Amino acid sequence: MGAPAGSGSASGPTPPERFWSLPPRDLFARLATSPAGLGAEEAARRLARHGRNAVAESQRRHLAARVLRRLAEPLVAILLVAAALSGLTGDWPGFAIIAAVVAVSVALDVAQEHRAEAAAAALRESVAVRATVRRDGQPIALPVEEIVPGDVVELAAGSLVPADGIVLESRGAQADEALLTGEPYPVPKRPGPSGAAGPADAYDALFAGTAIVAGAATMLVVATGRATRLGDVAAALAARRPPTAFERGLRALGLLLLRLTIFLVLFVLLAHLAFDRPALESFLFAVALAVGLTPELLPMVATVTLSRGALRMAARRVVVKRLAAIHDLGAMDVLCTDKTGTLTEARIVLRDCTGPDGASPSPRVLSLAALNAGLAGGIRTPLDAAILAAAPPEATAGWTLLAEAPFGAERRRSSVLAAHAGRPRLLVVKGAPETVLAACTAVESPAGGAPRPLDEATRAALLARAEARGAEGLRLLGIAWREPAEAEIAADFGPENERDLVLAGFCAFLDPPKPSAAGAVARLAAAGVRVKIVSGDAAPVVRHLVESLGLPARGLMTGEEIARLDARALAARAEACDLFARVSPDQKRRVILALKARGHTVGYIGDGINDAPAIGAADAGISVEGATDVARGAADLILLAPDLGVLADGVEEGRRTHANVMKYVRMGTSSNFGNMLSMAAASLAIPFLPLTPAQILLNNLLYDISEIGIPFDAVEREDLAAPHAWDMHAVLRFTLVMGPLSSVFDLATFAVLLWGFGASPGEFRAAWFVESMATQILVIFLIRSGGPVWRARPPHPVLAATSLGALAVALFLALGPPAQALGFAPLPGAVLGAIAALVVLYLAAAEAMKRVAVPGLPPA
Ligand SMILES: Nc1ncnc2c1ncn2[C@@H]1O[C@H](COP(=O)(O)OP(=O)(O)OP(=O)(O)O)[C@@H](O)[C@H]1O
Ligand SMILES: [Mg+2]
């Protein structure tokens, strides 16, 4: 995709290391652009030259590359060697079969995976982060990957910085550069040139991978993709993402089977050679065994099952950005959520504005609040929008913004410095009542006289009053002001100026609870997922919401308490606590980590700038369609509707996916494994090969095909009822019960054939081929459910078709016209009858034993 073409004329030399030391004018000239941005044609040319603005190679590989990658796998390579040897020794059927096995399994693998991944990628793209870019003078929304050097990008609070560049304009912009500098507090950004020595001091530079957390800014893009400062770091981070529990489980299983395979194959090969069997034949037999044993389809099945899961989730309005997160969603047993939007309607309205007493209505407080909300740059928060919707338009008339200190979630205040002809300058602060009060030294008197000093008794009374109103479910903002002296220069304006304020009063907001939330929480609880609320809002508001929704909730912790606890103490407390109030963004993250440390699989759903760290820390990070870019960027899953019910559906889908992967794992570890094991043993006990190498490969190919339908299959209700963890012990237990069971029947088959019927090698192979195909394939209908087979939900038609179809082909090959060419001899009716009886007996035994193999199932 968009490989950089080495086309001729460059539009400017590569930007200097310290691009922030150049005046914007020079950079505009170097990059041949202007404040109106690039033209569409020039942008397309630059995209071709510089490549896409992405740090990692595109995940979607070419079809040809995929095929080549498969052919280079050691196992396939061995098979190709085996085919060549068969051909050289004149064994043409052997050659044809091996070649066919390679061709069909590679084709299956590639086609399935490619299709599934392409569909999942298309979904992912639909929720990709976009940026507002000026092209031909007009701001348009573009995929971040299409940004090129010279572009002018408009950013607002919540935007991810898409590339490296300089600030052209700033309206109180602050960037979170923790990724770059490790500094957790946002840094102000304004135009330069700063001439700074390093990126950490470059107040006029913005870097890809950081985020705007307050205010708004316009930037000129200087470098994109891998050329950005964090490009290589980000690429390395993306590549080194620690594997999830699911991926670790799959890998452990693969490794276990691989070790067993190597051991067995070497053992068989050496034993055969020790018994003086023909070397080439023994080698081919061992290779075929290895192919039969290796879970070569496991990665494909996992990808296809997960991709199919992603499509089904999309139908239920959950878009999956990281495939393995489906599994984490199903395994999640604790869900943390913020309040607004998921538990409330997020239709915030201003209920009233009052004086400090919280009772007498105050138009003046509304005007001050409107001044703060209306003059502030950046995107409007819902609270700001509610204030402006209620305020008369003339509230801000004549006022201009001199400076501002935008809202910060750690500070919980926002302020503006405003000017009006013929009036003193006015500083207006609004924010959480206790944080505003903390900056106040005086309070307006209800009668409207001169402000009086704020004494401790009044302060306590005001706080108690605010708390009481919060307990009615009202979200409160304190409004305070002061008239700064001219000497306080606007350029240095910042949070330090929020001092010596006069409290004017309070604005109270209503955000109605979402009635559907109670049902969704109950559904999640029934599915074994405990819901915890982690909110930046005040404790009484959170408690009132929980009560009005009738949610079961124990305990409440505030950010103040969390700040006093170390990680271990927090883990102990967080476990038993369902409500967290007045928590800062970093504390949200700490709560998630604490719960993870207790062994929980934790999900977090949120939409704000303040939720991004917690979303990133969670096992399943969830955001919603309309959320800020930072939240969506950090999330693994995006809900297309901000609704917990949608999430409950997603959890179900995650568990369905897991259950289907487990079916494949069980098939592979029990019946298939048992069969191959028996064959290895038999090859030593009987004087001829129980199956020729080509027959084994054919057997394995048909078995693989029979399983293609598994990702489509329905699952049982009990598989959806509780979170599952990837449990290697359970897999092992299943293998240790079901593997030997199938071996017992294999040995019985050998005995019957050899001693009962005195079968010839050709007859033995035909009979054994039929028996092993029938047992391996049919057992899926039993182990696809834990309960009695007659009570299970019917298998999906695709699964029935692939399984029974593969079996029919096997019977046709072993018993029909092609039999002789494949080295099978015709079977007498008595042998067929005996085999049918053995298969039925095996299936009955497997049905009985699966209850032992899967612990914790109710008796039939
Ligand atoms: N625009 C604003 N100006 C001033 N103060 C604000 C503003 N927005 C929020 N606050 C204050 O900061 C507190 C935390 O707000 P925020 O909405 O970020 O928390 P949150 O965790 O996202 O809440 P929720 O759980 O409801 O989603 C609010 O309770 C309010 O007191
Ligand atoms: Mg929020």
CA triple 844-848-853, angle to 5 deg: 130
Among protein residues, the one with the nearest Cα to ligand 1's atom 30 is 432
**Residue with the two structure tokens 């298969």:** 839
Q: How far is CA 711 from the centre of its chain?
A: 20
Ligand 1 centroid to residue 173 C-alpha, Å: 18
| Calpha distance 570→449 (Å, rounded) | 48
432 lines ligand 1 (CB under 6 A): yes
pLDDT score of 119 more than 80: no
For residue 430, give the amino acid letter.
Answer: K
Reported confidence tier of residue 75, pLDDT bands at 50, 70, 90 = low
pLDDT score of 753 more than 50: yes
Instruction: Give pLDDT tens digits for 125-167.
Output: 777 788 999 999 999 999 999 999 999 999 988 899 999 999 9
Beta bridge partners of 639: 318, 624
SS3 258: helix
28 lines ligand 1 (CB under 6 A): no
Q: Which ligand is nearest to the CA of 214?
A: 1
Reported confidence tier of residue 243, pLDDT bands at 50, 70, 90 = low
Among protein residues, the one with the nearest Cα to ligand 1's atom 19 is 536
541 lines ligand 1 (CB under 6 A): no
431 lines ligand 1 (CB under 6 A): yes
| Calpha distance 258→255 (Å, rounded) | 5
Whether 338 sits among the annotated catalytic residues: the reply is yes
Question: What percentage of residues in the chain have a pLDDT greater than 70?
Answer: 92
381 lines ligand 1 (CB under 6 A): yes
Instruction: Answer with the residue of higher pLDDT: 64 or 344.
Output: 344
| Calpha distance 188→157 (Å, rounded) | 12
Top mutation candidate among 411, 428, 477, 587 for ligand 1, by most atoms within 8 Å of CB: 477
Where are the domains positioned within the chain? Answer: 19-53+133-239, 252-310+657-853, 318-345+514-640, 349-510
Ligand 2 centroid to residue 176 C-alpha, Å: 18
Reported confidence tier of residue 3, pLDDT bands at 50, 70, 90 = very low
Ligand 1 centroid to residue 476 C-alpha, Å: 10
Instruction: Give pLDDT tens digits for 313-339.
Output: 888 888 988 888 888 899 899 999 999
**Closest atom of ligand 1 to CA, residue 534:** 25
- Residue in 814, 682, 840 with CA at minimum distance from that of residue 751: 682
Task: Give residue 61's pLDDT.
Answer: 59
659 lines ligand 1 (CB under 6 A): no
509 lines ligand 1 (CB under 6 A): no
Task: Give residue 491's pLDDT.
Answer: 61
The 10 Å Cβ neighbour count of residue 154 is 17
434 lines ligand 1 (CB under 6 A): no
CB 662 within 8 A of CB 317: no
Question: What percentage of residues in the chain have a pLDDT greater than 90?
Answer: 42
Ligand 2 centroid to residue 791 C-alpha, Å: 46
Q: Which of 164, 176, 338, 704 is catalytic?
A: 338
Give the tokens for residue 685. Answer: 């006990």
User: Three-state SS across 130-171?
Assistant: EEEEEECCEEEEEEHHHCCCCCEEEEECCCECCCEEEEEEEE
Within 13 Å and on the Cβ side, how many CA atoms surround 433? 30
CA distances from residue 414 to 363, 403, 410, 454 in whole angstroms, order as listed: 20, 11, 11, 21
**Closest atom of ligand 1 to CA, residue 344:** 26
Top mutation candidate among 348, 412, 533, 544 for ligand 1, by most atoms within 8 Å of CB: 412
Instruction: Answer with the residue of higher pLDDT: 611 or 114.
Output: 611
Q: Which ligand is nearest to the CA of 381?
A: 1
CB 646 within 8 A of CB 317: yes
Ligand 1 centroid to residue 595 C-alpha, Å: 24
**H-helix or E-strand spanning residue 533:** strand 530-534
Task: Give residue 428's pLDDT.
Answer: 96
CB 492 within 8 A of CB 427: no
Reported confidence tier of residue 378, pLDDT bands at 50, 70, 90 = low
Q: Which ligand is nearest to the CA of 506?
A: 1
**Closest atom of ligand 1 to CA, residue 435:** 31
Instruction: Give pLDDT tens digits for 389-435.
Output: 999 988 888 999 888 888 888 889 999 999 999 889 999 999 999 99
Among protein residues, the one with the nearest Cα to ligand 1's atom 14 is 536
- Residue in 429, 454, 411, 420 with CA at minimum distance from that of residue 365: 429
Reported confidence tier of residue 845, pLDDT bands at 50, 70, 90 = very high
Task: Give residue 74's pLDDT.
Answer: 65
218 lines ligand 1 (CB under 6 A): no
Ligand 1 centroid to residue 182 C-alpha, Å: 25
Reported confidence tier of residue 295, pLDDT bands at 50, 70, 90 = low
Give the tokens for residue 516. Answer: 């559907």
Q: Which of 242-251, 518-527, 648-657, 669-678 has the lowest mean pLDDT?
A: 242-251
Task: Give residue 701's pLDDT.
Answer: 84
Task: Give residue 4's pLDDT.
Answer: 39
**Residue with the two structure tokens 């963890």:** 725
Reported confidence tier of residue 68, pLDDT bands at 50, 70, 90 = confident
Ligand 2 centroid to residue 534 C-alpha, Å: 9
pLDDT score of 238 more than 50: yes
Instruction: Answer with the residue of higher pLDDT: 338 or 289.
Output: 338
pLDDT score of 857 more than 70: no
Task: Give residue 860's pLDDT.
Answer: 36
Ligand 1 centroid to residue 584 C-alpha, Å: 10
Task: Give residue 8's pLDDT.
Answer: 37
354 lines ligand 1 (CB under 6 A): no
Task: Give residue 441's pLDDT.
Answer: 95
Ligand 1 centroid to residue 848 C-alpha, Å: 58
**Closest atom of ligand 1 to CA, residue 608:** 22
- Residue in 815, 794, 816, 791 with CA at minimum distance from that of residue 803: 794
Q: Average of pLDDT values for 603-623? A: 91
Top mutation candidate among 436, 535, 630 for ligand 1, by most atoms within 8 Å of CB: 535
Instruction: Give pLDDT tens digits for 666-713.
Output: 887 777 777 777 888 888 888 888 888 888 888 888 888 888 888 888
Instruction: Answer with the residue of higher pLDDT: 322 or 569.
Output: 569
| Calpha distance 630→393 (Å, rounded) | 32
Among protein residues, the one with the nearest Cα to ligand 1's atom 12 is 412
- The whole model's pTM is what? 0.82
pLDDT score of 60 more than 60: no
Instruction: Give pLDDT tens digits for 9-36.
Output: 334 446 677 899 999 999 999 999 999 9
pLDDT score of 5 more than 70: no
Instruction: Answer with the residue of higher pLDDT: 585 or 125.
Output: 585
Domain covering 318-345+514-640, topology: Rossmann fold (3.40.50)
Top mutation candidate among 375, 507, 537, 622 for ligand 1, by most atoms within 8 Å of CB: 537
117 lines ligand 1 (CB under 6 A): no
pLDDT score of 304 more than 60: yes
Domain covering 252-310+657-853, topology: Calcium-transporting ATPase, transmembrane domain (1.20.1110)
116 lines ligand 1 (CB under 6 A): no
pLDDT score of 87 more than 90: no
**Closest atom of ligand 1 to CA, residue 409:** 18
Reported confidence tier of residue 236, pLDDT bands at 50, 70, 90 = low
Task: Give residue 244's pLDDT.
Answer: 64
Task: Give residue 573's pLDDT.
Answer: 94
Task: Give residue 297's pLDDT.
Answer: 64
536 lines ligand 1 (CB under 6 A): yes
**Closest atom of ligand 1 to CA, residue 372:** 3
Domain covering 19-53+133-239, topology: 2.70.150
Reported confidence tier of residue 179, pLDDT bands at 50, 70, 90 = confident
Mean pLDDT score across all residues of the chain: 86
Q: Which ligand is nearest to the CA of 583?
A: 1
Q: How far apart are the first and last CA of the chain?
A: 56
Q: Which ligand is nearest to the CA of 343?
A: 1
Q: Which of 13-22, 432-441, 845-854 has the lowest mean pLDDT?
A: 13-22
> Domain 349-510: which CATH class?
alpha beta
Ligand 1 centroid to residue 412 C-alpha, Å: 7
Task: Give residue 58's pLDDT.
Answer: 53
